[in-house]
Amino acid sequence: MATLHHSPFCPNSRFIRLVLAEMGMEPSLVEERAWERRDAFLLINPAGTTPVLVEQTGLAVPGAGIIAEYLDETRGLGLSGRRLLPEATPDRVEVRRLLDWFLVKFHAEVTGYLVLEKISKRFMTSADGGGPPDMNAIRAARINVRYHLQYIGYLMERRRWIAGDHLTYADLAAAAHLSCVDYLGDVPWDESEIARDWYARLKSRPSFRALLADRVPGMAPADHYADLDF
């Protein structure tokens, strides 16, 4: 059995949890607090970031984008029609473009700020950078999330799923990131009804269940967070 080193509200870890569930894999989960820079964790990923997938053979695969490529190469063909990185070249480019959009760009502009300021800082010591949230960072993230939601709406007016006709890594990455923001009540769903409908479809998938059950200790989710018909 594989092991996933993750953090429950790290959006890139959530993406890989969704991917593994869609592939029918049930890894054992090890929770990491990346800011503690645990020695044994740095040995398997010198960058010190989550997620990291460790195979039973000992092979460590660090980073959400790299795990996605790895899983496609080692398990993708077994999924036939349900492959999450499609086969045709232009489709692969589009899925990877949007995967990078959410794992890197959305993370830098939205989720990174919100998860650090509102969640991680509650558990960090002051030496680690803990303390009260930086309201400027939170405000910036709340402004940025609006145009991302409009962009999802724009794509979904033209397509069945974010990157084309089929569910792909791009949908799972976008939904994983939005799920963290939604827990915090910071998704302006009124911005795009079509984006909201797309997210409701994702959220109803069995792969989403475990994510919706996670809780930040001492911090309840937004009311509609786990409601499948919000």
Q: Footprint of a copy of itself on this chain (CB under 8 A)? A: 46-47, 59-63, 65-66, 69-70, 73-74, 89-90, 92-93, 96-97, 100-101, 104-105, 151
Angle at 205 between CA 204 and CA 208, to 5 degrees: 90
Element (H, E) at 172: helix 169-183
Number of H helices, E strands in the chain: 10, 4
Instruction: Give the residue from 179, 130, 158, 169 showing the smallest Cα distance to 10.
Output: 179
Provide, rounded to whole angstroms, the least separation between the CB of residue 73 and a copy of itself.
7
Q: Which CB, 59 or 143, lies closer to a copy of itself?
A: 59
Provide, rounded to whole angstroms, the least separation between the CB of residue 107 and a copy of itself.
10
Provide, rounded to whole angstroms, the least separation between the CB of residue 157 and a copy of itself.
15
Q: Which CB, 155 or 180, lies closer to a copy of itself?
A: 155
Q: Write the single-letter amino acid at 155.
A: L
Q: Which CB, 37 or 97, lies closer to a copy of itself?
A: 97
Q: What order of strands is seen across the sheet that includes strand 28-31?
A: 28-31, 3-6, 52-54, 60-62
Q: Which CB, 61 or 184, lies closer to a copy of itself?
A: 61
